[in-house]
Amino acid sequence: MDTFFIWLESSTLSLWVRGESGWVMAFPIIIVFHALGMGFLVGVAVTINGRILGLAPKIPLTLLKNFIPVAVLAFVVNAISGILLLIGYPTKALTNPVFYIKLLCIALALWNLNWFNKAVLTNTAYDQGELPIRLKQLAVASTLLWACAIVAGRLLAYTYTKIMTF
């Protein structure tokens, strides 16, 4: 594993992310995109969850599907910026259990969002009135998963034990 970390951390792309190839703004700019993507992805997801729970009931639920492209774009931004951050500091992330908790929370929350998009936001019967309790439970679980992903992500800056192998 150490050989892999050393190989990755000494790569041109890794050096560029860490600002060691001359341009120090690469890392801050990648982090900024990661925060923006979080805002739009979690923002759209949590609004859909809130609507499923019965908040803002005047919004026809199926029409929130129109905001799914925003969430998809935000996810792409965060997948790219996240992979770049991982390439910059692979040891720091991959030796920290909190990083795997974050990834697990995101994977489950995305799986749920994808299912809501396919099975719930397409059903016009849900546009008005109360939704089934099972869907509300999923909406609560999804909101908690996003919250955990955010906490875990923020804690990465405080809980790492090793920064670099290189």
Q: Which residues bind other proteins (CB under 8 A)?
A: 28, 31-32, 35-36, 38-40, 42-47, 50, 55-60, 63-64, 66-67, 70, 146-147, 150-151, 153-155, 157-158
Q: How far is CA 38 from the centre of its chain?
A: 6
Nearest to 83 by CA among 117, 46, 37: 37
Quote the CA–CA distance of 33 and 82 in Å, as a whole number: 9
Quote the CA–CA distance of 153 and 115 in Å, as a whole number: 24
**Could you tell me if 61 and 147 are in contact, meaning their C-beta atoms sit under 8 angstroms apart?**
no
Query: CB-wise, 6 or 150, nearer to other proteins?
Result: 150
Query: CB-wise, 90 or 153, nearer to other proteins?
Result: 153
Query: CB-wise, 47 or 117, nearer to other proteins?
Result: 47
- Residue 124: CB minimum distance to other proteins, A: 12
Query: CB-wise, 5 or 126, nearer to other proteins?
Result: 126
- Residue 12: CB minimum distance to other proteins, A: 22
**Could you tell me if 89 and 20 are in contact, meaning their C-beta atoms sit under 8 angstroms apart?**
no
Quote the CA–CA distance of 68 and 47 in Å, as a whole number: 11
- Residue 133: CB minimum distance to other proteins, A: 22
Q: Please, which residues have CB within 8 angstroms of residue 14's CB and are 6 or more apart in sequence?
A: 8, 87, 88, 90
- Residue 11: CB minimum distance to other proteins, A: 23
Query: CB-wise, 6 or 147, nearer to other proteins?
Result: 147
- Residue 110: CB minimum distance to other proteins, A: 15
3-state secondary structure of 151: helix
